[in-house]
Chain A
């Protein structure tokens, strides 16, 4: 048949086009990069040692929480400017999604906005995966109301629980305290995939992921801010990192941990969050695969670099850093090869905000 060669030609053309695309992709990389990556000047203080840069090479695969992502991104970027041959990729699969990959050894580091769960730890154990838990910064929650709301002066953890627990009976402000207005309460909060939601449910309701569901949920904190800003009877919660950028649009609610003796209403500030006096603050972590730590010198260097400059990175992305002392001693311990107990360095205050630990 006359048309057959042409048909075959057509198929060949498709294959050819595919090949060309693949080739062009290759060309993109092999072409001498005319794009100069802007290098940031970073002073690496590693126990007085001056580092000759650029000799480390290798790959680091990071996945996990989108809450921790910005600070890890800052660290990865600065590190790659220093060591261009270390290839770091950072994912945003969520704390839980990331741990699923971490506990089977697929990733080197997991960004976590909460400590590893028992079930995740068990899976890791059965796969022979050990880890190093490195606290990197503090993430707080804020509870906010509309600026026209003049009745709420403080909320306790128990009241928050009453509002947010599953099958909550609270539908009006007067359901919380009788003297408050008999007006419907409109709730805003993050959706169930967010680490913020995990932390809030665990810390306030007392059970992971246990929450009422009849509220307006968004993973995007900007949406929550806009919602509370526009609705007089609204109440919402979201990450502390967002608060400074929305401070003039909403009103923050002081929180009292009534489960603790003699506690007071605490307004979240950098100090109260940093010292964990504010009840709704938590540390965020990176989990490092111990095998990768032992086998990959560039990964060790990255983690130590992350900690040494942790305060700067946290501030750069509007997170609350730990004390400078913490970063110094944690980095020094890691450099000395001590990988356990970094968590106990984070604060002298014994606190119970982190959930299961």
Chain B
């Protein structure tokens, strides 16, 4: 095994490849850094401006013109109520759509049309959903400017996002498993229930989290559908009037008094904490499901 003689060009080429190999991670980590730094600086700004305004008042009190007493009780409950309900509407619908598209449809024109539509729906500005919901649900169907209308609006808004994730989740299940089951004489329903769905469920949950996070932060469609900001009543039924946190935050930010701007930062912290809690629950659920699959199927 003698020394391999490299020509100049080859040597340069080899050096270049090594150089790229060393530089690329640096460039990529800069990209990561930018993303992380943006989030971190946002968080920092919010905590610095609003941290000292965090109090039980903010959670337990109703809105007030006095920043010392103002709270977002009705907004927090309204958000939890509408977003929770919208998830209950959206997630089963998305899973059903995905099951149809992946497991049942034979991939003809109809299914590609459906997919195309869903993808397009994801790009529609959210306020459009609000306007449509106001005209169709609130007035035409007579549901009024209520929690249920808000929930349906958010559900339709998040539907495409969640459906796409659910479709991808089902597609990620190896076909070998399905074919094996079919070979043993399973029906499609059995394949879905026993093979695809359990394996896809963890990823579907991730889609659900994404949807909920998006719905929780939406102000525009709710401004159209509800329009209400000042309300000193908790939402008690599906037909209650309601408001949501982003509306309250938006209003506080645009007030002249600095105290309200601080208050909105504190409100953002609470919104983020609720988001984190929701995500935490979903992640725990996902881990649990994944472990269960592991035990049953490995």
Contacts and interface: CB of A to CB of B under 8 A. Distances in A.
Interface of A: 1, 3, 6-7, 14, 17-18, 21-22, 25-26, 28-30, 35, 37-38, 40, 62-63, 66, 69-74, 76-77, 80, 87-93, 97, 219-222, 239, 241-242, 244-245, 313, 316-318
A14 B241 contact: no
Interface of A is mostly: helix
A21 B256 CA distance: 38
B66 A316 contact: yes
Interface in B213-260: 223, 226-238, 240-241, 247, 251, 253-258
A29 B236 contact: yes
Contacts of B256: 221, 239, 241-242, 244-245, 318
B285 interface: no
Given A26-B237, A29-B236, A91-B227, A74 B65 contact: yes
Nearest to A243: B256
A149 B230 CA distance: 41
Contact of A69 (B69, B187, B226, B230): B230
Given A21-B85, A22-B237, A73 B61 contact: no
B88 A3 contact: no
B46 to A, nearest CB: 15
Given A38-B61, A89-B241, A222-B261, A28 B236 contact: yes
A86 to B, nearest CB: 10
B92 interface: yes
13 contacts: A7-B189, A22-B238, A25-B234, A25-B235, A28-B235, A29-B233, A37-B232, A62-B230, A63-B228, A87-B233, A97-B227, A245-B256, A316-B66
A162 to B, nearest CB: 29
Contacts of A70: 65, 255
A317 B65 contact: yes
Interface in B55-93: 60-66, 69, 73, 77, 81, 84-85, 88, 92
B81 A25 contact: yes
A28 B78 CA distance: 12
B193 A7 contact: yes
A77 B66 CA distance: 9
B190 interface: yes
Given A18-B88, A37-B62, A73-B65, A63 B251 contact: no
A25 B232 contact: no
Contacts of B233: 29, 87, 89
A77 to B, nearest CB: 5
B55 to A, nearest CB: 13
A220 B81 contact: no
B88 A14 contact: yes
Chain B interface size, under 10 / 10 to 19 / 20 to 34 / 35 or more: 35 or more
Nearest to B74: A89
B262 to A, nearest CB: 12
Contact of A91 (B61, B189, B193, B228): B228
A90 B88 contact: no
Interface in B174-213: 187, 189-190, 193
Nearest to B247: A92
Contact of B254 (A17, A62, A222): A222
B189 A66 contact: no
Contacts of A90: 228-231
A87 to B, nearest CB: 6
Contacts of B190: 3
A89 B230 contact: yes
A91 B226 CA distance: 8
Interface string B100-137: 00000000000000000000000000000000000000
Contacts of A80: 232
A340 to B, nearest CB: 28
Contact of B230 (A37, A88, A222, A316): A88
Contacts of B251: 66, 69, 92
A100 B228 CA distance: 15
B254 A219 contact: yes
Contacts of B73: 35
B223 A93 contact: yes
B281 to A, nearest CB: 14
Q: Which 8 pairs across A and B sit closest by C-beta, in order of nearness?
A: A74-B65, A90-B230, A91-B227, A29-B236, A93-B227, A242-B256, A89-B231, A91-B228
A92 B241 CA distance: 14
A313 B223 CA distance: 25
Nearest to A4: B189
A126 B258 CA distance: 44
A271 B196 CA distance: 73
Nearest to B64: A77
A348 B92 CA distance: 65
B64 A1 contact: no
Nearest to B91: A14
Contacts of B77: 28
A62 B255 CA distance: 19
Given A90-B229, A97-B227, A317-B65, A221 B60 contact: no
Contacts of B240: 25
A221 B85 CA distance: 35
Contacts of B65: 70-71, 73-74, 77, 313, 316-317
A222 to B, nearest CB: 7
A90 B229 CA distance: 6
Given A21-B85, A77-B64, A245 B258 contact: yes
Q: Which of B65, B69, B73, B189 has the most chain A CB atoms closer than 10 A to its own CB?
A: B65
Contact of B257 (A1, A28, A37, A318): A318
Interface string B30-66: 0000000000000000000000000000001111111
B237 A25 contact: yes
Contact of B189 (A3, A71, A93): A3
A210 B61 CA distance: 42
